[in-house]
Amino acid sequence: MENENKQIQKRTMKTLPESERPYEKVLAFGPEVLSDAELLAVILRSGTRDLPVKELAEQILSHGKPEGLLGLLHYTLSDYRELRGIGKVKAIQLSCLGEISKRIWRASACSQETFCHPSQIADFYMEEMRHMEQEHLMLMILNSRNALLKSIDISKGTVNASVSTPREILIEALRYRGTGIILAHNHPSGTPEPSKEDCLFTKRVQEAGTLIGIPLLDHIIIGDNSYVSLRERGILEI
């Protein structure tokens, strides 16, 4: 066991020439000089007995769908475990890395005090939702100043349909004492054009919300770096 541990240690970044070691490069020039693989290697810290850490990082990036850093948002724990050199701990670390990136993006978008424009709502959800392979319906619950009280993943559907009801949505809005709501859902096809079902569902939620005094302020459909606001389209009248 001792010999095996020594062999694994030889596969860490310490075996690289000093000029190629990510830690030394960051200290000398800052993290922006690192390649994507080197950044990921810093997180992984070590490789395996027969797979150096940088090669392990390159393998992860090349096997993603899509390839590169965006693939980290698509990997699941089981996906990581299928890769050579990835055990339970590294799979958990990498999954958490993907989640941190989503939350950083969302926190940045949420730093705006209020949500009054469709582009703000789209920015808030874009990086998380444009990579989803199934439809998700998100509920944004706002207070009287249009500041965010709560964001809820209200339902997850098939590849082309999410399943929810106006009742479920408004129960959550009442739970958090919201005075207005916004819906957002993704189209895994990458095209945000609203379907007939999208329009009908939006009108049902709007009608139900009007009855209890919680207006539906917008419904944003997220595509791949694109979005459609049903309010801007005139489908949702405020």
- CATH match of 112-229 with 3.40.140.10: yes
* Cis amide bond preceding 22, omega within 30: no
What percentage of the chain carries pLDDT values higher than 70? 85
**pLDDT digit string, tens, across residues 98-134:** 888 877 766 665 555 678 899 999 999 998 898 888 9
Distance from C-alpha of 149 to C-alpha of 56, rounded to nearest angstrom: 41
**pLDDT digit string, tens, across residues 174-193:** 999 999 999 999 999 999 99
The count of other CB atoms within 10 Å of the CB of residue 83 is: 16
Q: Which of 60-64, 109-113, 127-131, 224-228 has the highest mean pLDDT?
A: 224-228
Residue 106 and residue 126 in contact, taking contact as beta carbons nearer than 8 Å: no
**Domain ranges across the chain:** 2-104, 112-229
Sort strands 216-222 and 227-229 into parallel, antiparallel or unpaired.
antiparallel
The pTM of the full predicted model, rounded to 2 decimals, is 0.61
